[in-house]
Amino acid sequence: MSKQDLIDYTKENFGRYESLNMHLSSNFYPPMPAQVKKVFLDGFNQYWAGLIDVTGLSQELSRVYRGGLDQYGFFNYLNEDDLYYD
């Protein structure tokens, strides 16, 4: 099973929150500190609830993360409307 298939499977069967939690817990070395994972999970929860948009999500994550949402598989957790294709 590819990493993409695994992400799709976990989103479908466990929900986006648990899938993201698993992604953050298993795909990074060294492991992410709990407080960094919390910023990601809280930020994405606000985004999924419609409290912030994708720009707000990027700003929220910038407290602990310098990359973009197109890196490290985070695009898999964006709402369909916020995905862009070339």
> Domain spans of the chain?
3-77
Query: How far is Cα 8 from Cα 67, in angstroms, rounded to an integer?
Result: 22
CA-wise closest residue to 20 among 57, 66, 59, 63: 57
Percent of the chain with pLDDT over 90: 72
- pLDDT tens digits, residue range 28-82? 899 999 999 999 999 999 999 999 999 999 999 999 999 999 899 899 999 988 8
86 has pLDDT over 50: no
Local confidence band at 85 (pLDDT 50, 70, 90 cut-offs) = low
pTM of the model: 0.88
The alpha carbon of 85 is separated from its chain's Cα centroid by a whole number of angstroms, namely: 18
